[in-house]
């Protein structure tokens, strides 16, 4: 019952650190919000339901963004909810634009900021092709990294910039990468050998960051794994590698493996039940599950696959080859 950490901290700090206070506050807040309704069926019942829903991860549905991003658990719950609700969109094989994904996000969280979606899309797409189409899985995994680790990634971006410009945030002298080309994402043609920063040095800095970072960050061992096999890498290369790393996905625990992304039998069953309920459509439901296809867009803009090619190859080599190109089949 009492973990060692429990003894190391004063009670209050412990509760705060574990976000228990957040949930207690939110529970009271919700109680206030719906006090008339709740008073009719019991406050004890309400608290039971509240904490049950927190455990199940359903407490974030349709909540405001400030709450959704308040705790790692909330973020993971949101990611999971997003996946569960819109898996069917991905299953249908549609490629959507950033704005469309944003719309879907807003269906679950009305004030979801566009900025985050844009950042996630930037991991998938080139800077200059922001209105390209993305597959559901590409977007989802990129979004996962961006959303779950957003504070961590901001720090990483700062470190990366410092490294690029020759400063060492850890006061370690960096001998390389003073080329003065500070472009974050050079295009294919300009990609030079000296693009990006040196991986080992980058890792040092990140390890340091992970140690003192109060927000959640990916397990340092996995970060090391990502960075260990390459000499140099760019910031976005790093993000892509993170988003494609199944270990990190597992550690995060919100989404299934990429291979199982379209697999959710419980929900499929629920969906079939719903389909049967559509009035007058009972017969045709089972007949044409694959026949229905969304209308094709007039200008077929398909997003560029992941990174500049050499990056992709490098990264694929590092991360046990489980990652594939964007348009992997959903079956």
Binding segment toward other proteins, per CB under 8 A, in 26-34, 199-207, 303-311, 318-326 = 26-34
Q: How far is CA 144 from CA 62, 136, 182, 285, 312, in A?
A: 18, 12, 27, 33, 19
Binding segment toward other proteins, per CB under 8 A, in 224-232, 248-256, 263-271, 319-327 = 263-271
Strands (E), the chain: 197-198, 232-233
Binding segment toward other proteins, per CB under 8 A, in 97-105, 173-181, 255-263, 321-329 = 97-105
Q: Does 4 bind other proteins (CB under 8 A)?
A: no
Provide the token pair at 286. Answer: 């089972």
- Residue 275 burial (10 A CB sphere; 0-12, 13-18, 19+): middle
Q: How far is the CB of 9 from other proteins (least distance, A)?
A: 11
Q: How far is the CB of 132 from other proteins (least distance, A)?
A: 14
Question: Is 86 or 160 the residue whose CB approaches other proteins more closely?
Answer: 86
Q: Give SS3 for 97.
A: coil
- Residue 74 burial (10 A CB sphere; 0-12, 13-18, 19+): buried
Contact 115, 85 (CB under 8 A): no
Q: Does 132 bind other proteins (CB under 8 A)?
A: no
Rounded to whole angstroms, the Cα distance separating 115 from 153 reads: 14
Binding segment toward other proteins, per CB under 8 A, in 102-110, 134-142, 220-228, 315-323 = 102-110
Residues forming contacts to other proteins in the complex (CB under 8 A) are 10-12, 15, 21, 24-26, 28-30, 32-34, 37-38, 40-42, 45-46, 49-50, 52-53, 56, 58-59, 61-62, 64, 66, 81, 84-89, 92, 94, 96-97, 99-100, 103-104, 106-107, 110-111, 267, 270-271, 274-275, 278-281, 284-285, 288-289, 291-292, 294-295, 297
């Amino acid at each position: 019952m009492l973990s060692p950490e429990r003894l190391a901290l004063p009670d209050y700090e412990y509760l705060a650190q574990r976000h228990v206070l957040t949930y207690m506050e939110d529970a009271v807040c919700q109680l206030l919000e719906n006090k008339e309704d709740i008073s009719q069926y019991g406050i004890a019942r309400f608290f039971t339901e509240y904490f049950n829903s927190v455990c199940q991860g359903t407490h974030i549905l349709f909540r405001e963004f400030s709450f959704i991003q308040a705790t790692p658990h909330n973020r993971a719950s949101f990611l999971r909810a997003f996946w569960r609700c819109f898996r069917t969109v991905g299953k249908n094989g549609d490629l959507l634009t950033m704005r469309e994904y944003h719309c879907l996000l807003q269906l679950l969280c009305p004030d979801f900021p566009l900025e985050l979606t844009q950042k996630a899309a930037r991991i998938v797409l080139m800077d200059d092709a922001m209105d390209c189409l993305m597959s559901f899985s590409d977007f989802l995994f990129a979004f996962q990294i961006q959303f779950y680790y957003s504070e961590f990634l901001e720090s990483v971006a700062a470190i990366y910039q410092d490294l690029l410009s020759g400063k060492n945030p850890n006061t370690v002298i960096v001998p390389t990468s003073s080329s003065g080309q500070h472009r974050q994402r050079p295009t294919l043609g300009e990609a030079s050998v000296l693009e990006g920063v040196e991986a080992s040095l980058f890792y040092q800095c990140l390890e340091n960051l992970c140690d003192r970072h109060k927000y959640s960050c990916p397990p340092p061992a996995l970060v090391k794994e990502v960075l260990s096999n390459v000499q140099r890498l760019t910031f976005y290369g790093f993000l892509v590698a993170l988003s494609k790393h199944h270990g990190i996905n597992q550690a995060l625990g919100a989404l299934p493996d990429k291979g199982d992304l379209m697999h959710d039998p419980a929900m499929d069953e629920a969906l079939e039940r719903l389909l049967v309920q559509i009035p007058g459509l009972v017969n045709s439901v089972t007949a044409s599950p694959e026949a229905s296809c969304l209308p094709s867009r007039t200008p077929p803009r398909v997003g560029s696959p992941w990174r500049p090619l050499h990056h992709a190859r490098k990264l694929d080599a590092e991360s046990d080859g489980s990652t594939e190109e964007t348009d992997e089949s959903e079956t």
